[in-house]
Amino acid sequence: MKYLHLVWAALFRRKTRTFFTIASVLAAFLLFGLLDSVRTAFSQASESVAGANRILTMSKISFTMSLPQSLLPRIQAVPGVKEVAFANWFGGVYQDPKNFFPNEAVSENFFSVYSDFVVPPEQLAAFKSTRTGAIVGEALAQKYGWKIGDKIPLQATIFPQKDGSNAWTFDLVGIYRVADPKDRNNEQAMFFNWKYFDEARQFGNGAIGWYIEKVDDPANADRIANAIDAISANSDHETKTQSENAFTRSFVSQFADVGLIVAGIMSAVFFTLILLTGNTMAQAVRERIPELAILKTLGFSNPGVLALVLAESVLLVLLGGLAGIALAAVVVPAMSVHAGGLLPDSVRPNTWALGIGLMLAIGLVVGVLPALRGMHLKIVDALAGR
Amino acid sequence: MSALVEIRNLSKVYTRGKQKIEVLHHIDLDIAKGDFLALMGPSGSGKTTLLNLIGGLDTPSQGSLSVGGQRIDSLGEGALAKWRSEHVGFVFQFYNLLPMLTAQKNVELPLLLTKLSAAQRKQNAAIALKLVDLADRATHKPTELSGGQQQRVAIARAIVSDPDLLVCDEPTGDLDRQSAQQVLELLQMLNRDHGKTIIMVTHDPKAAEFARHTLHLDKGTLVEQAAQA
């Protein structure tokens, strides 16, 4: 620590240049903070512990193909299945197509299978007794200012009503919260009664989008999934049953390989950053050769000079990088509100940790050549300006 | 007086491309402890090279060089750096202060290599600055000081770790007559009152008059030795 003032003073010897370099690093790490938060949100979506005892059954051909309702009692009869719920994707739009949020028609016992979605008992009772009742996530309700008793109009994009109208109106009877606060992005959905949906829709009546099975033991999930798929084997509605996490992963991968995209963008950004910061450090050390020679004259060792220059480059990247991720930590929650659950409500610790690791690595990479130059300089040549 | 610096058969050869240039030829020299020696000679005579060798900034090509009884010609780079930090203070023509640090922090620099606490470093630097009569300029950066003041800060930096030996390369070469006079009087006081052994390279005969002895170098060889009254 006693050398910190020396490193700090060297870093700000050329204030304007240092300021612009820090600003570049800040911009790069702001982008990193945002993109890695998206990547984290997508990857964590498929790692829910709460979903470990749930498996999902859907058409083997496509997620969009329906399954017959007649499968329900046969699935319920499979040993190890504790409870079965089902759902249909509705795909309704609230006011404007930009207001995307998941909305699904679900069976009455849906919240019993999804026990991690906590609904007060009286609201759950109201959901079951109200034909047009709907329950939304707390984050979604906050976003649109909804409260219990409100009527929520959705414009159907797939399922018109029997009279041909696309206007569906639901009564908000409950608001669910997720049990684990870090999963708040799961509070962006709306669920309503499948019975009402099935009776009122123009086509596809009696068909189920997918089944959700609660199993007695996650260890038995594979055996149970195979038993469920065997029910429909060689029929015109063969099924594919998989864990909820695997389902989410395959659902997310329909959007894109987010991890690969983020890695690609950040590689390009950091490569440019290394060139830019490396140039700054090389220039800074070139200008300070006589000063480094003086430090060596006074008795600073070669490794000591190497460490000072490396510390300077690491500090340069840390200052910009930490500011960048801190700014991302301010921006991400603000964006999360408008991102329909695609962004977490904060920059997660793993993003901070990865970011700091990258800062240290980039700082060392950009500093190593100038530091070696400082370390190997010959005092008499440097003092003589050679 | 016993010899602080003992030089025997010292030669230094530089290689510039394919050319070998012998800058110092078989020098034999003793410098007594507590001496104030002026090294004079024309440009290229080897004065600065000899000073750099004595100060441990460079290593000889041949011969032996002992300072305070320790052979420094055979020390490795790391050991030589440590030896310099403990035994030698340096004063250069262009002061060579770090421009981004205050006078106080510049003077503290050599103490960073010691085990002194921050408070002790600050206190010692303050004493050194007081000795060169710049206590009131401790918080000033080099650009806020005159040339003479900067050189006095450099002298404070040279003496702050209480070395036996001060090597000064043209310490008045960039100063006006009045500032040069102050710097030379300061060096003389450090030699006289504090027992510092000083070796000073200079072109200026008036500066050399402040020394106890003057040595002349020409083409890498000692040609004359004179003692001041």
pLDDT attached to residue B229:
43
- Asked if B77 has any chain A CB less than 8 Å from its own CB, the reply is yes
Residue A56 lies in a domain: no
pLDDT attached to residue A204:
87
Regions of chain B where pLDDT drops below 70: 1, 224-229
**CA-based nearest distance A369→chain B, Å:** 20
**CA-based nearest distance A1→chain B, Å:** 11
Packing angle between helix A302-336 and helix B77-87, nearest 10 degrees?
90
The alpha-helical segments, DSSP class H, found in B101-220 are: 103-108, 118-131, 147-159, 177-194, 205-208
Residue A367 lies in a domain: yes
The reply to whether A165 and A281 lie within a common domain is: no
Query: Burial level of A127, CB count in 10 A (0-12/13-18/19+)?
Result: buried
Cβ–Cβ gap B113/A298 under 8 Å: yes
pLDDT attached to residue B191:
95
pLDDT attached to residue B183:
93
Burial profile A306-329: b = 16 or more Cβ within 10 angstroms, e = fewer: bbbbbbbbbbbbbbbbbbbbbbbb
Return phi, psi of residue B119, to 5°. -65, -40
- Out of B86, B100, B113, the one facing A13 most closely (by C-beta) is B100
**Three-class SS of residue B161?**
coil
Write the single-letter amino acid at A120: P
For residue range B177-226, list pLDDT tens digits in order.
999 999 999 999 999 999 999 999 999 999 999 999 999 999 899 886 55
Residues 6+ apart with CB under 8 A from A32: A266, A269, A270, A324, A325, A328, A351, A355, A358
Domain range for A175 is: 61-237
Residue A361 lies in a domain: yes
pLDDT attached to residue A77:
94
Are residues B90 and A330 in contact, defined by beta-carbon separation less than 8 angstroms?
Answer: no
The reply to whether A82 and A198 lie within a common domain is: yes
Are residues A263 and B55 in contact, defined by beta-carbon separation less than 8 angstroms?
Answer: no
The reply to whether A217 and A97 lie within a common domain is: yes
- Out of B101, B109, B118, the one facing A298 most closely (by C-beta) is B109
pLDDT attached to residue B217:
93
With beta carbons under 8 A apart, name residues in chain B contacting A294.
96, 98
- Asked if B64 has any chain A CB less than 8 Å from its own CB, the reply is no
Q: What's the CA gap between B37 and B73, in Å, rounded?
A: 21
Cβ–Cβ gap A380/B57 under 8 Å: yes
The reply to whether A20 and A68 lie within a common domain is: no
Mutation pick from A294, A295, A296 vs chain B, by most beta carbons of B within 10 Å, is A294
Residues 195-224 of A with CB under 8 A from B: none
Cβ–Cβ gap B78/A379 under 8 Å: no
The reply to whether A338 and A372 lie within a common domain is: yes
Chain CA centroid to CA A86, Å = 26
Question: What radius of gyration, in Å, describes the C-alpha atoms of chain A?
Answer: 29
The reply to whether A197 and A80 lie within a common domain is: yes
- Asked if A302 has any chain B CB less than 8 Å from its own CB, the reply is yes
**CA-based nearest distance B15→chain A, Å:** 12
CA atoms within 13 A on the CB side of A144: 25
Q: Is the interface score ipTM higher than 0.90?
A: yes
Boundary of a domain, candidates A171, A205, A237: A237
Cα torsion through B82, B88, B89, B93, rounded to 10: -100
With beta carbons under 8 A apart, name residues in chain A contacting B113.
298-300
B221, two tokens = 């060889």
Q: What's the CA gap between A258 and A237, in Å, rounded?
A: 31
The reply to whether A107 and A31 lie within a common domain is: no
The reply to whether A29 and A103 lie within a common domain is: no
B142, two tokens = 């080099």
- In this structure, the strands spanning A190-193 and A151-155 are unpaired
Residues 81-100 of B with CB under 8 A from A: 81-82, 84-86, 90, 92, 96, 98-100
Cβ–Cβ gap B105/A9 under 8 Å: yes
Arch. (CATH architecture) of B3-63+77-99+146-227: 3-Layer(aba) Sandwich (3.40)
Q: Which one, of A225, A256, A259, lies nearest residue A241 by Cα? A: A225
The reply to whether A161 and A88 lie within a common domain is: yes
- Asked if B193 has any chain A CB less than 8 Å from its own CB, the reply is no
Residue A330 lies in a domain: yes
If one counts the domains in chain A, the total is: 2
DSSP label of B101: S
Regions of chain A where pLDDT drops below 50: none
- Asked if B109 has any chain A CB less than 8 Å from its own CB, the reply is yes
**CA-based nearest distance B125→chain A, Å:** 15
Residue A302 lies in a domain: yes
